[in-house]
Amino acid sequence: MTPPGPDLHGDHWARGARADHAVNVAAGGPPDWLRRLLRQELDGAIRAYPDEAEATAAVAHRHGRSADEVVLLNGAAHGFALIAETLAPRRPVVVHPQFTEPDRALAAAGCAAAPVILGEPWALDPDAIPVDADLVVVGNPTNPTGVLHPRAAIEAIIAPGRTVVVDEAFMDFVGGEANSLAPATDHDDLVVVRSLTKILAVPGLRVGYLLAPSPLAARLRDRRQAWAVNGLALAACAAACHHPARLAPAALRARADRDALAASLAGVPSLRVHPGAAGFVLVEAAGRDGRALAETLRRGHGIAVRPAATFPGLGAGHLRLTARGGDADARLVSALHALLR
Ligand SMILES: Cc1ncc(COP(=O)(O)O)c(C=O)c1O
């Protein structure tokens, strides 16, 4: 696969910055219970080849699925490459604006996707999906718009001969998960990709999984290399899925921080604010170059934000701002005020 462009992900902008509003994982770093667990598990996890049984059972239990419907992943991003290579779709589409790794994975597998670009406010329109699309990738909630599609809108794009892949990497941030398709067992060709990287704030650990009907899950699982997921990631996955209530504090904090940030951004001149359902806020500085703004914020204030023009369907002025709470968000808002007044 071609390497991502140097600025295709938020971590490029965050490296070396004093304040990171570019990476979209939960604020505050990994929770204490997880740090303790990883320290405890370190020795055992690195001495033995990884055993997926416990993490697989925990994921299945969390979502009311059977273990044979679970495929553990080295982060959710692994799932897109696995799906592309295994299914080799003829007419794949990706619903944009959204995360572009599925496009890269499909292109690398020799089956480049056509973009379906939704117009603002980016509601999923089932009629926009070409009837002959045999693979459709859609994010829910979507990065970077934060749009949460109703479960029924996604179910409306399910069709015979078509695999629908729902990227629910940010669903842990949404209270109640009423629109999640993770528990749905009544669709033959539905794949739900989940990441624990985001809510646990462990992008370096790589923790994800997918849920699919067992024949499809078996094809995907068998395509992975041996020991695809490391032992510490498995320990984190098992613990989080055995005790999903442990994820609630980070989700609550993210929602409160996001709403507070969106409210303060509303006072910044010429900025349009799209708060969304995840822990970040998409904004548009009309008539401005978001990339130049991001560079100035970084150089002048040590603040990293993610310019969003690389997401198909968004414009030069879009920026994705991850809420970090308190003083960090206040400094971000005041820096934007100074730049945009
Ligand atoms: C929408 C979306 N899906 C999946 C991923 C990848 O998640 P992971 O870090 O678990 O591979 C990201 C990472 O930014 C993302 O934004």
pLDDT tens digits, residue range 91-128?
A: 999 999 999 999 999 999 999 999 999 999 999 999 99
10 C-alpha to ligand 1 centroid (Å) = 11
Best CATH choice for the domain 10-24+248-340 from the list 3.90.1150.10, 3.40.1190.20, 3.40.50.300, 1.10.150.530: 3.90.1150.10
| CATH code for the part of the protein at 32-242 | 3.40.640.10
pLDDT above 70 coverage of the chain, percent: 98
Q: How large is the average pLDDT for residues 140-157?
A: 97
Q: How large is the average pLDDT for residues 262-270?
A: 95
Question: For residue 249, what is the DSSP state?
Answer: H
244 C-alpha to ligand 1 centroid (Å) = 19
Cβ neighbours for 207, distance < 8 A, ≥ 6 positions apart: 75, 195, 196, 197, 200, 229, 233, 236, 237, 240
CB-based contact 311:318 (threshold 8 Å) = yes
Ligand 1 pocket test, pick from 73, 167, 198, 311 with the greatest ligand atom count within 8 Å of Cβ, gives 198
Where do the domains of the chain lie? Answer: 10-24+248-340, 32-242
What residues line ligand 1, using a CB cutoff of 6 Å? 24, 75-77, 99, 139, 143, 167, 169, 195, 197, 203, 208
pTM summary value: 0.96
CB-based contact 247:319 (threshold 8 Å) = no
Give the H or E element holding residue 323. none
184 C-alpha to ligand 1 centroid (Å) = 21
Cβ neighbours for 106, distance < 8 A, ≥ 6 positions apart: 80, 84, 89, 92, 94, 112, 113, 135
266 C-alpha to ligand 1 centroid (Å) = 28
- Tens of pLDDT, residue by residue over 50-90, are 999 999 999 999 999 999 999 999 999 999 999 999 999 99
Cα–Cα nearest to 87, from 192, 189, 202: 189
Q: What is the pLDDT of residue 3?
A: 47
- Tens of pLDDT, residue by residue over 193-207, are 999 999 999 999 999
